[in-house]
Structure 1
Amino acid sequence: MKLFLILGAANAAVAVMLGAFGAHGLEGKLSERMLEVYKTGVQYHMYHAIGLLAVGLLAGKLTGSGQLHWAGWLMFIGIILFSGSLYALSTTGISKLGIVTPFGGVAFIAGWVLFIVAAAKGL
């Protein structure tokens, strides 16, 4: 599952870049509330980039790799939906974008549940 190692590392790099942009480029341009929303997007982006790395590292070692494969895709989808919607919401102020965020959260949760299932089967 080299793909998840690549996706994880790429998303970690993007999360660092977006975090730096938020700290240096958005400070003073966004309200404190919207800056916190943006930071939450970055935080969850990085958590799940690390999750993708874990998927990539464990995929060849666990027998439950089908669940692990789906766990990785759900984490990636979650990054796009959850973090992406928070980035868009905070920088545009379009509050309707927040309707997408819970779908990303559900994808994150489902990804971690599948990770647990794969680990339980593979150990």
Structure 2
Amino acid sequence: MSSRVMLIFVGISGFFYVALGAMGAHMLAPVMTSRQMEWIHTGLQYQGLHTLVMMVLAVLLMRQPMKPFGWAGIFFAAGMVLFSGSLYCLAFLPLKFLVYLTPIGGFSFLIGWLCILIGALRLRKLAPSHE
């Protein structure tokens, strides 16, 4: 994933993160069950964290283009859509079969973090020495 595409995704994700957070705090809390609010809260936590990490990855890609960082962005985006998205759907819609997408999204997050590890290990080899 290019840094441009990653930043576009970050902008969209950040917008929905703030919008859902505000809705959850002001409009949804009185009409939803505590379980539904937990699903929204958990989805927002993971979405917010991975949105920020994707923003950092986009900056890294601008300075040092590396495939593992691009792949991390792809897996984080998939994780946000599948993990957080399925939790939001569980809270808002009566489509309980979507619960099966949640672990796939969680696994996507894990693969994304492994991609960052691989990129970091390669980055160390590429970085010039300052000694």
Q: Taking structure 1 as the reference length, what is the TM-score of the superposition?
A: 0.91
Asked whether 1:46 is paired with 2:44, we answer no
Q: CA deviation at 1:60?
A: 3.1
Q: 1:62 and 1:29 mapped to 2: Cα distance?
A: 47
Q: Which amino acid aligns with 2:17?
A: A
1:15 and 1:46 in contact (8 A); partners too: yes
Among residues 6, 9, 12, which one is paired with 2:8 in the alignment? 6
Q: 1:42 and 1:70 mapped to 2: Cα distance?
A: 22
Q: CA deviation at 1:10?
A: 2.5
Which deviations, in whole Å up to 9, do the C-alpha atoms of 1:37-85 show, x marking residues without a partner?
111111111111112101101113336x111111101100111000100
Structural mapping, 1:1-123, within 5 Å: 1-62=3-64, 65-123=66-124
1:9 and 1:53 in contact (8 A); partners too: no
The gaps in structure 2 that reach 5 residues or longer are: 125-131
Q: Which amino acid aligns with 1:57?
A: V
Q: 2:84 and 2:72 mapped to 1: Cα distance?
A: 17
> Does the residue aligned with 2:121 lie in a helix, a strand or coil?
helix
> Does the residue aligned with 2:28 lie in a helix, a strand or coil?
coil
Q: Which amino acid aligns with 2:88?
A: Y
> Does the residue aligned with 1:25 lie in a helix, a strand or coil?
helix
Higher mean C-alpha displacement, 3-12 vs 107-116:
3-12
Q: 1:85 and 1:74 mapped to 2: Cα distance?
A: 16
Q: Which amino acid aligns with 1:51?
A: V
- Of structures 1 and 2, the larger Rg is shown by 2
The gaps in structure 1 that reach 5 residues or longer are: none
Q: Taking structure 2 as the reference length, what is the TM-score of the superposition?
A: 0.86
> Does the residue aligned with 1:60 lie in a helix, a strand or coil?
helix
Question: How many equivalent residue pairs?
Answer: 122
Identity of aligned residues (%): 32
Q: Which amino acid aligns with 1:3?
A: V
